[in-house]
Chains A and B, each alone.
Chain A
Amino acid sequence: MYSYYFKLALLSLRKTPLLSLLMVIMIAIGIGATMTTYTVSYMMSQDPIPNKSANLYQVQLDSLDYEFADGDTLPITISYQDVQALLKSDIPKNHVALSAIQEEIRHINNKDIEPRSLEVRSTTSDFFNMFEVPFLFGAGWSEQDGKDAAQVAVLSKETNTWLFNGENSVGKTFYFGKDTYRVIGVLDDWNPLPKFYALQNEAFKKPNGIFIPFNTQIQNELLTLKLMNNYCWKEPDDQSFASLLVSECMWVVFWVELSNKKSHDEYQTFIDNHAKEQQSLGRFPRRIFNKLLPLKQYLIVEEIISDDSKLAVWLAALFLLVCLLNCMSLMIAKFDAKSGEIGLRRAVGASQQDIVKQFAIELSVIGFVGGLLGLLLAKLGLIAAANTYHYLHSGLMQMNTQLTLGTVLLAVISSLVFGLYPIIKASYMQPSSQLKSL
């Protein structure tokens, strides 16, 4: 029976091509607009590391002497002194300290390759394990390399393509500012979205191109204030790098991986004890209040998803509503034009249910075609969005399978929902009224 209705639906579309086309276009435009904006918003709120997000915590310490912000919000960075202390713990499965610097990168001898000033992620050796970073060649640096402040680097796939033509560059050297660094690993594609591990304003920026050991940054006294969230609530003794390191300035992001409740609690005790110990030495003046902020909560607290993107989804949804209302008028017009056929079908024995089924299938077909076209429009829309939001991560403008299927499904369902009234209205039509004057 359904194949019969399907056939009738196709016939009907052919009979009123203009009206049907208009409906398809309405649905497609509405769906396209909604899914374009929804994709961006959805991708922004994705779990960047689903296997692990439950076990990842950002460490926040209240080492300030006054209230930082309303309530219990703390800076997302901690001081270098605390980083050193925390790195000594063996409770977490992994722990990483993060900072960033800007540095000029040059090929060792090929002058044709223009030097580039890159944002360099400095971090500790657990980083790659902890965040499940895939490697194309080589691996991250060892703990020992990290401790020794070795001048080694991990390149992103893109950087490696630029600097070494995409070849296995492990063991090769390049200029890192004035120094020579050795490539120790090359990453495969790795673009977690949001870029949760770094500062808030980087969440949707392009991925880092190069990684070096945190200690190497410290040893070489590399600082790029612009890339730091340096919260210096108490000024350092002087302007030297050494003073920064022993100051109260909070500028290092610190993440830990705690696999279970037990280690979580143990670690909480550990950082609280650290704070108490420091308190006895005159630090942590205000209170012992240390947070292990779960990754997902961090993304919420820091409002990683912008209001603009939410706004866009709302506007697009209203846009879809207008399109669907429009479509509903067209449906009524369409069924109105078909009242003769409805009357006839009722006369020869179609029940109201049969009529409902027939038109539901017709609208599903229209919704489906509209959905496919809408999918196409959404993809075009995302290309346009990628243009408009060129400064954001391109991964935001890509649909995954769920969204792709969801788009078509949304089109079918919304056409049915908005078709419900016209269909029921059509099925309740008095059949005899239409038979005389066909």
Chain B
Amino acid sequence: MLKMKSLSKAFVTDAIKTQALHPFDLTIEQGEFVSIIGPSGSGKTTFLNIAGLLEEHSDGLYELDEQNVAQFTDKKKSAYRNEKIGFVFQSFNLIPELNLYDNVDMPLRYRKFNRDERHKRIMQALEQVGLAGRKSHYPTQLSGGQQQRVAIARAIAGTPSVILADEPTGNLDSKMAEGIMSLLKDINAAGTSIIMVTHDNEQAAQANRIVQIKDGHLSEYTHNKKAIA
């Protein structure tokens, strides 16, 4: 479902060209759980942003559901992000002045759902992350772990085919992190692909594929997960 071929990314500022990602090939199938590891500044987030259509790649081919994204208009990209992709961020990125219900509602608002359909999806997502009972609370009233659960509910409410998670446990203690990881695994088990950037090798090992990025170079561990762990 996600196919990258000789994809690369370079930033050009003030006549200095920085190669953020060197050309690489990568294919991810529906239902896979892929971890991206690597030191900070190595290009993990850039990779995720390109995968999530938030940034454009410089060269090469990127196909999402067999569609070449280079030809997408902003509108089409937005629609793809909305329908096919769910984002989970390290810092949760909930909107503080909206309650949980409205936060989860946000992506659904950009789709032509009627009120009932939205309600059904929001409640389903909130139930799945175990926070349905607190739908009228505001993000600041929740713990970090709970906030991240809301963010995950927001990501899955639109039933995307892939969730892009950028260090989803980076701001959480290990106990909360565990809960988030198992939640992600449950979601993956239900058929949604997950691409997760992480620092934590232990977490990375829970995925069925691991991709390492170092200085903009991608390399894949297809077997022997323990070697990294």
Question: A residues near B, CB below 8 A?
Answer: 1, 4, 11-12, 14-15, 340-341, 343-354, 430-432, 435-438
Residues of A within 8 A of B79 (CB): 349, 351
Set B45, B75, B81, B91: member contacting A347, Cβ < 8 A: B81
Q: Interface segment, B93-101, B172-180, B204-212? A: B93-101
The chain A residue with its CB closest to the CB of B83 is A349
Q: Report the separation of the CA atoms of residues A212 and B78 in the bound assembly, to the nearest whole angstrom.
A: 78
Q: A432 contacts which chain B residues (CB < 8 A)? A: 45, 49, 52, 54-55
Whether A436 pairs with B75 at a CB distance below 8 angstroms is no
Are the C-beta atoms of B154 and A348 separated by less than 8 Å? yes
- CB pair B55–A340 under 8 Å, yes or no, is no
- Docked Cα-Cα span, A12 to B158, in Å, equals 25
A14 close to B89 (CB less than 8 A): no
A351 to B111, CA, bound (A): 11
Listed residue (A4, A354, A432) with the most chain B CB atoms within 10 angstroms of its CB: A432
Instruction: Decide: A436 near B107, CB < 8 A? Known: A349-B79, A349-B81.
Output: no
**A348 near B82: Cβ-Cβ < 8 Å:** yes
Question: Within the complex, what minimum Cβ distance (angstroms) separates A305 from chain B?
Answer: 50
A112 and B178 CA atoms in complex are apart in Å by 97
- Contact yes or no, B93 A435, CB < 8 A: yes
**What sequence of 0s and 1s flags, for each residue 158-192 of chain B, a beta carbon within 8 Å of any chain A beta carbon?**
10000000100000000000000000000000000
B90 proximal to A (CB < 8 A): yes
Give chain A residues whose Cβ lies under 8 Å from the Cβ of B98: 11
A15-B82 in contact (CB<8A):
no
Asked whether A354 and B87 contact (CB < 8 A) given A348-B82, A349-B158, the answer is no
CB <8 Å contact, A436 and B45: yes
Do B97 and A11 have beta carbons less than 8 Å apart?
Answer: yes
Would A350 and B78 be within 8 Å (CB), given that A1-B109, A4-B109, A431-B54 are in contact? yes
Chain B interface bracket (under 10, 10 to 19, 20 to 34, 35 or more): 20 to 34
Determine which of B77, B82, B95 lies in contact with A344 in the assembled complex, contact meaning CB atoms within 8 Å. B95
Chain B residue nearest to A15 in the complex (CB): B97
Asked if A349 and B89 sit within 8 Å, CB to CB, the answer is: no
Known: A12-B97, A349-B111, A430-B55. 9 other contacts (CB 8 A): A347-B52, A347-B54, A348-B107, A349-B78, A349-B79, A351-B74, A352-B74, A354-B110, A436-B91
On whether A354 and B45 interact (CB within 8 A), knowing A11-B98, A430-B55, A435-B89, the answer reads no
Complex Cα gap A429–B90 (Å):
21
Contact bitstring B45-78, A, C-beta under 8 A = 1, else 0: 1000100101100000000000000000011011
A-B pairs with beta carbons under 8 Å apart, 6 shown: A11-B97, A346-B54, A348-B158, A349-B158, A351-B78, A435-B89
Chain B residue contacts of A354, Cβ below 8 A: 78, 110
Q: Which residue from A349, A350, A351, A438 sits with its C-beta under 8 Å from B93?
A: A438
Report Cα–Cα, A201/B89, bound state, in Å.
74
Instruction: Sort A-B residue pairs by CB-CB distance and give the 9 closest, nearest first.
Output: A349-B82, A351-B78, A348-B107, A432-B54, A432-B49, A349-B110, A349-B81, A351-B75, A347-B87
B158 to chain A, nearest CB (A): 7
Q: Contact partner of B106 among A343, A345, A430, CB < 8 A?
A: A345
Q: Which residues of B contact A431 (CB under 8 A)?
A: 54
Q: Which residues of B contact A15 (CB under 8 A)?
A: 97
Q: What residues of chain B lie closer than 8 Å to A12, measured between beta carbons? A: 97
Say whether B107 contacts A349, CB under 8 Å: yes
Is the Cβ of A438 less than 8 Å from the Cβ of B89?
A: yes
Q: Report the separation of the CA atoms of residues A432 and B54 in the bound assembly, to the nearest whole angstrom.
A: 6
Q: What is the chain A residue whose CB lies nearest that of B55? A: A432
Q: A438 and B74: CB pair below 8 A?
A: no
**Which residues from chain B contact A346 at a C-beta distance below 8 Å?**
54, 78, 81
Chain B residues whose C-beta falls within 8 Å of the C-beta of A435 in the assembled complex: 54, 87, 89, 93, 166
In the complex, what residue of chain A is closest to B49 when comparing beta carbons? A432
Bound Cα distance from A341 to B95, whole angstroms:
7
Q: How far is the CB of A7 from chain B (nearest CB, A)?
A: 9
Contacts of B95 in A (CB 8 A): 341, 344
CA distance A48 to B158 in the complex (A): 63
Minimum C-beta distance from A162 to chain B (A) = 61
Which residue, of B49, B78, B83, has the highest number of chain A Cβ atoms within 10 A? Answer: B78
Q: Select which of A4, A14, A345 is within 8 A of B97 by beta carbon.
A: A14
Contact (Cβ within 8 A) B81 A348: yes
Name B95's closest neighbour in chain A (CB-CB): A341
Contact yes or no, B89 A350, CB < 8 A:
no
Expressed in whole angstroms, the Cα–Cα distance for A422 and B133 within the complex equals: 39
* Complex interface: chain A residues within 8 A of B109 (CB): 1, 4
Question: A341 CA to B106 CA in the complex, in Å?
Answer: 11
Q: Chain B 110-123, CB within 8 Å of chain A: the 1/0 string?
A: 11000000000000
